[in-house]
Amino acid sequence: MSTPRPQLVVMKFGGTSVEDAAAIRRTAEIVRGRRARGLRAIVVVSAMARVTDTLLAAAAAAGVGDKHGALALSARLRSRHLDTARDLVHGIELSTLLGTVQHEFDALDDLLRGISAVGELTPRTTDLVLSFGERLSSVVVAAAFALAGLEGAHLDARDCIITDNSYGKAVPQEALIEQALLKHALPLVERDLTPVMGGFIGSNEAGITTTLGRGGSDFSAALVGGALHAGAIEIWTDVNGIMTTDPRICPDALRVKTVSFEEAAELAYFGAKVLHPATILPAVQKNIPVFVLNSRNAANEGTRITAVAPPCRSPFKCIAVKKRLTIVDIVASRMLMSHGYLKAVFDVFDRHRVAIDMVSTSEVSISVTVDTSEHLPLIAEDLKRIADVKYESGKALVCLVGEDIRGHAGISGKVFTAIEHINVRMISQGASEINMSFMIEEDDAAEAIRSLHRRFFSDPDGEIFDLDARANTAGAPPVHMPAVAVQ
Ligand code: ASP
Ligand code: MG
């Protein structure tokens, strides 16, 4: 295990925190604040806001032979990056930066032409196309930081984040990552430079570009923080940390000042836009606190995520909701309880690499929920060999999370009384005892959230919730990314 480095902070800035020159300037000031406290920072950046989506669209267009469509998308990205560079950097540094940006876009265009010529898009090539987002943002931010007196130094994440070959969702190789960071990143930190690297991207041992999956920049930050045993990992986004629920649905939502790793892990699935679930792991393993902070309101304390949360008077910390889910009902009257049957069912989902969110069983049926409908026809076909299957989309999962559920008797009674006017399809309370989930129609979700919030957060505990700033977003309403996002 590496030596703890309490002075080192890994700061991850999401797409909105680097979306244009103004955002990058704010980001620079935040980093300056950390350096002024005597901390050393490694900065991990996402692609500029919406760039990954555009790259994905360009790759898809190229994949069906639409070369002009693909190149038009890339041209728009090119001017956006060049404009941002011109706004932030000047003099000789600007010509170097523009040269690098042009060079990257030329490479991207070559690649898009190649894909359209072949008319085939593989996962490996998709990763390569997507990597340009973080390659470019990190180059621009590093140059801006260099000029802003922050000693910014670009670090190619692909030299450090070593993964396996699972394109699209590559698995990090932590021992190799640690070695690579000690070799490439630490010497920069020791020279008091601020390394700036792209999140989300990596490479396999053969040097071929991979990605960690959408939203993967948080994961990158946690991997870097974990490998170098940083004092803290800061996830800078555009909300004031984790909220009790989505403030767009419920204006009374409160900032949660502190949650445990376990609670955050439960929530991460719902607030994937704020915190990648896997962010938690490399940090938990080394007991490194993770902060979720707002780059538009840097003075706000955000949410601190720690191994053990202080006790809270109310049973729940958050009410999360995830929409666009599908319930799959699997009915097999004779076989359900027979040995190996559940395994056979789960194996089918596994073969199609579809994750199951929630499971409930009765004597004759199993219901599971999934958040994709993409592979369902094929899954249903496979399942039909062993059961009758039907599936229904348009469902929402509501999830109440809190470590203090444990100590409260009669909780489910209170929950279901609060929403007695709403039809509940499936209920689950996980073994972790910190999560109560149920499935309803998507159209009932907003009403259910508001009723539950009224019931459980009308007298909130001031130690845990920020009572001063009810859903305060100081300057920026959380339009893009509520901490508990409605997907
Ligand atoms: N740019 C990537 C995405 O949009 C990764 C990230 O932002 O975390 O998914
Ligand atoms: Mg993100």
Residue ranges of domains in the chain, CATH in brackets = 5-237 (3.40.1160.10), 318-472 (3.30.2130.10)
Residue 377 CA to its chain's centroid (Å): 28
Give residue-wise pLDDT tens across range 271-318: 545 566 566 778 777 889 899 999 999 988 899 988 887 888 888 999
| pLDDT the model gives residue 455 | 95
Task: Give me the mean pLDDT over the 351-360 stretch.
Answer: 88
Nearest-atom index, ligand 1, CA of 213: 9
CB of 15 shorter than 6 A to ligand 1: yes
CB of 211 shorter than 6 A to ligand 1: no
CB of 199 shorter than 6 A to ligand 1: yes
Distance 390 CA to ligand 1 centre (A): 34
| pLDDT the model gives residue 335 | 62
Site to probe by mutation for ligand 1, drawn from 16, 45, 46, 224 as the one with most ligand atoms within 8 Å of Cβ, is 46
Find, among 478, 476, 465, the residue nearest to 318 by Cα: 465
Distance 279 CA to ligand 1 centre (A): 13
CB of 271 shorter than 6 A to ligand 1: no
CB of 200 shorter than 6 A to ligand 1: yes
Q: Inform me whether the pLDDT recorded for 487 exceeds 80.
A: no
Whether the CB-CB separation of 126 and 168 falls below 8 Å is answered with yes
* pLDDT cut 70: percent of the chain above it: 91
Q: Which residues sit opposite 328 in a β-bridge? A: 368, 391
Distance (Å) of CA 231 to CA 11, 97, 287, 290, 354: 11, 32, 9, 9, 36
Whether the CB-CB separation of 77 and 48 falls below 8 Å is answered with no
d(CA 433, CA 143): 48
Distance 298 CA to ligand 1 centre (A): 22
| pLDDT the model gives residue 463 | 92
| pLDDT the model gives residue 307 | 80
Q: What residue's CA is closest to ligand 1, atom 8?
A: 215
Q: Inform me whether the pLDDT recorded for 167 exceeds 50.
A: yes
Rounded to two decimals, the pTM is 0.80
373 band by pLDDT with thresholds 50, 70 and 90: confident
CB of 198 shorter than 6 A to ligand 1: no
CB of 44 shorter than 6 A to ligand 1: no
Nearest-atom index, ligand 1, CA of 218: 8
| pLDDT the model gives residue 412 | 86
Burial of 338 (0-12, 13-18, 19+ CB in 10 A): exposed
CB of 152 shorter than 6 A to ligand 1: no
Q: Which ligand is nearest to the CA of 19?
A: 1
Distance 49 CA to ligand 1 centre (A): 9
Task: Give me the mean pLDDT over the 153-180 stretch.
Answer: 97
